[in-house]
Amino acid sequence: MDLLNTLVDKGLRRELPTREEALAVLATSDDDVLDVVAAAGKVRRHWFGRRVKLNYLVNLKSGLCPEDCSYCSQRLGSTAGILKYTWLKPDEASQAAAAGLAGGAKRVCLVASGRGPTDRDVDRVSETIRTIKEQNEQVEVCACLGLLSDGQAERLREAGADAYNHNLNTSEGTYADITTTHTYADRVETVQKAHAAGLSACSGLIAGMGESDEDLVDVVFSLRELDPDSVPVNFLIPFEGTPLAKEWNLTPQRCLRILAMVRFVCPDVEVRIAGGREVHLRTMQPLALHLANSIFLGDYLTSEGQAGKADLEMIADAGFEVEGAGEVTLPEHRVEAAAGCGSVCGSHQGCGSHEGTGACGHEGGDLGGTAAAPATQEPRTDLVAVRRRGAGTDLAPNA
């Protein structure tokens, strides 16, 4: 297929595809999905070999969020029966993180519900970061605390944070249809603040909310422009008790096409399969490893994931290997660009070597634009399990 050959060539050169090419990937048929996976897999292996990075979520504060994000089980007005608890103590968070690290994770993602942290919250998280780092020298720590105020990213970095996650989630044109309590521009500004503070920026999307192909391409091209080091791809988990509970728009094949499109647009960044892979990819999860080079191990924020042992077996059976603590995730040119850019750029744009030739995860209605793909599967509500173990409980975590 000429399209796929062109996209492979561009991916190996870090050259941005056209919007038409990205849309064409999403429009390919189910009969062609293995060809699409094989092509995007060449780009993935060129930049990341057969390594799979493991990340582990620790939900520091669950539920009772004042924001109204339609996809979120922790949102204002949610009646989902999730765990609700206030801030974990640093030792509790460190113990939770230890389970993921013992399972092979090299990055711990510290997440808290809410619009954004107060200065006192930043103090709490900073103490937690220091505690985790003291007990695990090589661990990477990513914070995900919502919208940041001036100076907060710098304080997190001083405490030892390596990265900050804040997802764009969907396209700018349709953002107001899923959230009204903050704006798309607010999210962009927080990613830029993380960049400016010298943190590795992590920003991604949620697919399956009723968006059109154009919306998906819009948000991924916006992410390419923001230039995060990692792009988590969430697939909506339709929790009962949330406005999007009836949105079952994804098939395993569509999920694979979305991941392939992200890989072609962002060839040399860490593409992470995040929330919802068990619900929507199901038995085709191993194929997704040919597209993404990173996954979350075990459970998510408010839902249960595949058993950690099963994750490790899946990686090995598919012919991949877990990335070691001493291995560098990103290609050399991105590492050098980050070191050279430092904390003065405000964004990696303009640093040069992040561009090609000439150029962590919250869990995941009609968003406008062109019509979304019709639902082609029966709702698999049996696969949506509320987390009842790990952080905030007396039960051992799944790692």
For the annotated catalytic residues, the residue numbers are 65, 69, 72, 109, 142, 202, 272
Distance CA 200, CA 157 (A): 10
In the block, which residue shows the tokens 């459970």?
299
- 216 in Cβ contact with 260 (< 8 Å): no
Distance CA 387, CA 396 (A): 12
Residues 6+ apart with CB under 8 A from 141: 107, 108, 110, 129, 132, 133, 160, 161, 162, 163
In the block, which residue shows the tokens 């107001």?
176
Distance CA 205, CA 228 (A): 12
- 221 in Cβ contact with 344 (< 8 Å): no
- DSSP H or E stretch at residue 201: strand 200-202
Other residues' Cβ atoms within 10 Å of the Cβ of residue 332: 9
Distance CA 225, CA 189 (A): 13
Q: How far is CA 78 from CA 37, 133, 338, 356, 394, in A?
A: 37, 34, 39, 43, 24
Other residues' Cβ atoms within 10 Å of the Cβ of residue 185: 10
Distance CA 232, CA 152 (A): 23
Q: What is the dihedral of CA 202, 207, 211, 216, to 10 degrees?
A: 50
- 136 in Cβ contact with 104 (< 8 Å): no
Distance CA 163, CA 158 (A): 12
- DSSP H or E stretch at residue 56: strand 51-61
DSSP at 114:
S
